[in-house]
Amino acid sequence: MHKQQKSGPLERLARTLTVLENLCAIVAAVALVTAILLVSANALSRHLFSLPIEFQLELTQSYLLVMLITLALPWGFRCGGFIRITLLADLMGERAWRIIYRIGLLMSSVYLALLGFESFTVFLNAWLKKHMIMGVIDWPVAWSWIWIPIGCWLLSMRTLLMASGAGDQPEGH
């Protein structure tokens, strides 16, 4: 990743976005550790005492894993945690490739913003109608959906800023 040494409103926005991405990555890490501890505790409790932790599966799959995946996406992308296929880049000139690359980032940004909007409507619908997952504990569905628009919108902003040349410009792998 190479850093741009520019200043201006887009660079300030990029720095603010970096802070938000880092906070979301920390929340994702806490979700990961919590999921690992819950699954391990459930396995031990189930096998040693024949006493499973009844709520573990629902909490892990509907809440913690959703948080882990969607909140870590923008941070991972910013840090270069993606695969870049460079076959066409090697065949094209640098200038043509940069144009196509930025168009791809813009299209990705629009798609992620729309995906975030759609998932926010699902969250809002579940919130307003008080949808629940029934089980040992009645889990509010809305809280399993809220993480998706947050992650999508942050990643949308990151790709938009990258397309404009602001902030960190990861190279990918």
Report whether 108 contacts 157 (CB < 8 A). no
Residue closest to 75 by CA, chosen among 147, 151, 146? 151
**Residue reference for tokens 């629902």:** 58
89 domain-assigned: yes
Does residue 151 lie within any of the structural domains? yes
pTM (two decimals): 0.86
Q: What is the pLDDT at residue 11?
A: 87
Domain ranges, residue 83: 9-164
34-69 pLDDT tens trace = 999 999 999 999 999 999 998 999 999 999 999 999
According to the model, what pLDDT value does residue 151 have? 97
Contacts of 16 (CB under 8 A, 6+ apart): none
21 occurs within a structural domain? yes
Number of separate domains in the chain:
1
Give the pLDDT band (50/70/90) at residue 150.
very high
Query: Does residue 114 belong to any structural domain of this protein?
Result: yes
For the stretch 57-105, pLDDT in tens is 999 999 999 999 999 999 999 988 887 777 777 788 888 888 888 999 9
CA distances 45 to 8, 54, 103, 165, 168, Å, are 55, 11, 52, 52, 45
Give the other-Cβ count within 10 Å of 162's Cβ. Answer: 22
Residue 4 lies in a domain: no
Give the least confident one: 12-16, 57-61, 74-78, 167-171. 167-171
DSSP 133: E
Beta bridge partner(s), residue 139:
133
**Do residues 78 and 21 touch, judged by C-beta distance below 8 A?**
yes
100 CB contacts (<8 Å, ≥6 apart)?
88, 92
Q: Is residue 169 part of a domain?
A: no
What mean pLDDT comes out for the span 160-167?
88
User: Percent of the chain scored above 70 by pLDDT?
Assistant: 95
Query: Tell me, what's the pLDDT at 97?
Result: 84
pLDDT at 117 over 50: yes
